Chain A
Amino acid sequence: MTDTIIKFDKVVKRFGDVTVLNELDFTVKRGEKVSIIGPSGSGKSTVLRILMTLEGIEGGVVTVDGEPLWHEGPNLKPASEAHLRKMRAQLGMVFQSFNLFPHMTVLRNITEAPVKVLGLSRAAAKARADELLDLVGLADQAAKYPHQLSGGQQQRVGIARALAMRPKILLFDEPTSALDPELVGEVLNVIGKLAEEHDLTMLLVTHEMRFAREISDRVLFFDQGRICEEGSPEDLFTAPTQDRTREFLGSILKEG
């Protein structure tokens, strides 16, 4: 086991003529909680989507737990679907717009993939789901359908659903930006609790600066497809070295 769990090596991502990630390099250590901040369009979410294999890459190599994600074999040929399936099992994702399955109850949302994909028995999957619902504070909502829940509750189900697959790495793609302000807190509390109590590796794209500062071991500031500045939350938020970082933090603080 290596200490590094995620490694981006000169990763290039383009959408048509637009280069979203420009030879991006960074690493994440096992168990580390890393926040990614930056202006919209800077490629933050794309990093998560590449890791979740929702988007392919045009250049470079992404490594997850010592194995290339989008490539396989000694010659680094493009990954097959079977390889992607194997790699994907190590990651989980919490989406900005929850993406719960509207036709399944809360319980079913959480048990469906463990049963279908991991081959767990219904009973084992339910036991795991009950535990997770307890963790996110929704033990009494198991029989409801997503549309019967508030946005904050839905996102907490989304977190439980991702955790049910026992990923090594959990990706949060702006988990609170689709929520009404008064519901943000309950979701952040759950994420904070996870960060404190679990040795899960967490990658969080967020606009909640105060929260990023509280829970992160390290913060990456993204700008134009590159990491413009990185450091401990203390350093980056109180003494940024780059003009762009200062500018960005200034504008965010003015808004907030």
Chain B
Amino acid sequence: MHWTEYLPPLLQGAWVTVQLTVYSTVLGAMLAFAAGIGKLSRNLMLRAVAVAYIEVFRGTSLLVQLFWLYFALPMAGQALGLDLRIPPVVAGVMALALNIGAYGAEVVRGAIQSVQQGQYEAARALNFTPRQTLTAVTIPQAVPEMMPSFGNLAVQNLKDTALVSLISLGDMTFRAEQLRNFTQDSTTIYSMLLLMYFGMALVLTAMMRGLEHRVGRWRKVGV
């Protein structure tokens, strides 16, 4: 088989990889904000839940989490009399998002803590409610601070999507595995696969840089 014949199936897989990356990064970012803000909450329950989530998902392996969600969760459901069987795509997105969200939560927490005390004093003096302070003062200042780390996490997430091939999701790596089984042309197929991931990572990095520039525009105006 000529290498160009590998392209259609690999590109089909690439589209799945892109979708997985986008969904899990967006969902992961939401989890990161929830847990990062939760960890700084004055509410003990919220704080405990956030800390437990972050520690469990940072303290164990992504593949363990993926397998647990896919293989073990349905059995846990059975024991509780619930149907917790989830399709591979849901298990994949959930595992990726939960994992990246736990790492992102620490980034969010750090960025929020980097906002200066004087900002909170000004917000209080102007009689902002805690919620207004969070949305109008804290988050807009913390987000540009998080962006470089979020960029790294997004690339990490793209790479991690390759693991979902292990629960038979038809991503790029899964397609490559199928091709290799069929043709035994390992060198060509894996070289192409590596280059495609590399290309996607470069594009993703550029996009995250663009986003970083956008949310941090006020920092650079007129300097």
Contact = CB atoms under 8 A, between A and B. Distances in A.
A89 B219 CA distance: 31
A45 to B, nearest CB: 12
Contacts of B222: 144-145, 148
A117 B118 contact: no
Interface stretch (B29-37, B63-71, B121-129): B121-129
A99 interface: yes
Interface string B103-130: 0000000000000101101101111110
A39 to B, nearest CB: 23
A54 interface: yes
Contact of A95 (B122, B132, B221, B223): B122
A147 interface: yes
Contacts of B126: 112-113, 117, 161-162, 165
Contacts of B173: none
A185 interface: no
Nearest to B132: A116
Interface stretch (A5-13, A100-108, A191-199): A100-108
A122 interface: no
Given A95-B118, A99-B122, A101-B122, A117 B221 contact: no
Nearest to B125: A93
A54 B124 contact: yes
A14 interface: no
B125 A88 contact: yes
For chain A, what secondary structure do more than half of its interface residues adopt (helix, strand, loop), or is it mixed? loop
Nearest to B216: A103
A113 B137 contact: no
A148 B137 CA distance: 19
A208 to B, nearest CB: 21
Contact of A162 (B116, B124, B125): B125
27 contacts: A52-B125, A54-B124, A85-B127, A85-B129, A88-B127, A91-B125, A92-B125, A93-B121, A93-B125, A95-B125, A97-B118, A99-B121, A99-B122, A100-B122, A101-B136, A101-B141, A102-B141, A103-B140, A112-B126, A113-B126, A113-B128, A116-B132, A116-B136, A117-B126, A144-B222, A162-B125, A165-B126
Interface of B: 116, 118-119, 121-122, 124-129, 132, 136-137, 140-141, 218-219, 221-223
